[in-house]
Amino acid sequence: MYIGKNEDTFDMYQQIAADFSSCMNDYLYAYDLQDDTYYISEQATKRFAIPKNIFHDVLEAHKQFVYFEDLEMLIEDLQLLIDGKKTEHNLRYRWLGLDGSPIWINCRGRIIKNPDGKPFLMIGCINEIGKKPNADNISGLLKESALEEQIRQFSNLSNGFMLRIGIDDFKSINERLGVEYGDYVLREVASCIQNCLFSNQYVYRLPSDEFMVLDLSGSTVSDIKGLYHTIRSAVDQLVAKNQYEALYTISGGIVACSDITPLTYEESMKLSEFALNAAKDLGKNQVYIFQELDYTAFLRKRAILRCLRKSVSNNFEGFELYFQPIMSTVDETLYSAETLLRFRTQEGEFLSPVEFIPILEESGLIIPVGKWIMHNAMKMCKDCQKYFPSFKISINLSYIQLLKSPVFTDIMEALNKHGLNPGSLIIELTESGHLENNHAVHNVWRKLKTAGVQIAIDDFGTGYSNLHNIGELRPNIVKVDRSFTVKSLRNDYERQLMIHIVHMVHSIGLRLVIEGIETTEELSQITSLDPDYIQGYYYSKPCPQKEFYQKFIIG
């Protein structure tokens, strides 16, 4: 193409691009090759790290906003265009966003030549190839970008509600019946939702199996809860209509826009996602109404998890082992010590084990922390045996360690490293109800006992620990929980039950530890029952290693 006067032509295309920029999502540009001037639609400066929408020294300026890995490729292509060796530009590469993150674009353009055949102008269009589409062709709904735009534009959202809906176990539908059937389910559920909505209620498709209902009708929270149940009923009818070929339910999370502070798209998505996940945690096919206290607890749990991860990565900084003595009832001499984990944050907050240990287990961090406990507890035991050769150390083992780590190998390696006889180690099992029918766990148990490690059932008389576990796991030691101990001290029936438990344990060749003894009177009553060992505050609260040494080893 040949055009007349260069300056007029560049100004003309610049004006055309400016006129059209307000009615399109892409970015138009004009590049004056001879004057080395570049113009791009002004809205591009709100998305990319461009110095301004008109700039000179074009190749040099591009170095400021083109991703460094793509820069050489772009400069080579532009140089071919400037030299007249190419007339078409079509390149996929990355520009930098305002936050410095790379954004994939497709830049297309064509060269316009002077009457003498020299290239002087390139005009074209830039579009984001990774940008999310505004609509979903499967469900027929608008997508997240449209929801985001509505949240940003409307000022009356503070009186509204958001109902985030997710299809429970949707992945299994795709796996069992195929993606096409999964798309059918998405389409039909979207239709169910739409058919249940009234004026000023809108539904959008979110990623995966989720939808968002935005209510601007002035409803109450009770109304929105009722809407969820109406939609759930419609979905149930859909499942029945398809003769239960795929059995699925929906969960819903409700958030009042007045609870979203600040009322931004990002905060809306964050709180609504929390609400939906909370509904699924209730057992699915449920609705959950956002509560600030629950969210605060969730944020604290997440903050603790970050803190724990950082500690594990930082050589277990903040973790400390405490030890509580277990005394023989025959002569009140030290038999062993139970190892207990403690944790203090970098800010100095001392976290309760009840709070942080479940987080270690849920995250899997209990596996590296458990190995750290093993090595430090065994080292401490070896040091104590210099003074008390018969001293033993007791370590709690989580079911996560048993199921998801080579725990037998870890234990034997630690024993070998610290030169500790296997008989000096007692492994206490917690949450054994998860394990009683697990063959892999039984295998570990047999191998530990064969190696000479002692096994203890912890918290007997409460929770999962019961007579069945004694028969299945065949421990060496049974530990009676304090809650059961207290009952036996206050109630004749419970006391008789305790007497029978002591007799039963001894009759099958096991030993018994009574936990939770705090006073002289309690000690006297429990000792008369003839248990093997006593553990409790009467002798000592759990204490740091140095204090334990002073009290029970060298004191």
Section 127-153 average pLDDT: 86
Section 158-174 average pLDDT: 93
pLDDT for 6 equals 53
pLDDT for 4 equals 47
Q: How much of the chain exceeds pLDDT 90, in percent?
A: 71
> Looking at the domain covering 6-128, what would its CATH class be?
alpha beta
pLDDT for 467 equals 64
Give the tens place of pLDDT for each residue, 377-387: 999 999 999 99
Q: Is the pLDDT of residue 390 over 60?
A: yes
List C-alpha distances in Å: 467 to 46, 119, 393: 69, 90, 25
Q: Is the pLDDT of residue 429 over 70?
A: yes
> Looking at the domain covering 135-290, what would its CATH class be?
alpha beta
Long-range Cβ contact pairs of 525-529 (< 8 A, separation 24 or more): 525/489, 526/485, 526/488, 526/489, 527/329, 529/498, 529/499, 529/502
Section 503-512 average pLDDT: 92
pLDDT for 1 equals 43
Ranges of each domain in the chain = 6-128, 135-290, 313-553
pLDDT for 2 equals 42
Give the tens place of pLDDT for each residue, 240-262: 999 999 999 999 999 999 998 88
Q: Is the pLDDT of residue 436 over 60?
A: no
Q: Is the pLDDT of residue 3 over 50?
A: no
| Same fold flag, 135-290 and 313-553 | no
Name the nearest CA neighbour of 454 among 496, 397, 416, 404: 397
Section 278-300 average pLDDT: 96
- DSSP for 381-408, please give it: HHHHTTT-TT-EEEEEE-HHHHHHS-HH
Helices (H), 427-516: 439-451, 467-473, 482-490, 492-507
Q: Is the pLDDT of residue 454 over 90?
A: yes
pLDDT for 155 equals 55
Give the tens place of pLDDT for each residue, 218-243: 899 999 999 999 999 999 999 999 99
Section 92-105 average pLDDT: 94
DSSP state of 279: H
Let me know how long the chain is: 555
Section 45-64 average pLDDT: 92
Res. 437 pLDDT band, cuts 50 70 90: low
Q: Which fold has domain 313-553?
A: TIM Barrel (3.20.20)
Section 454-483 average pLDDT: 76
**Average pLDDT value over all residues in the chain:** 90
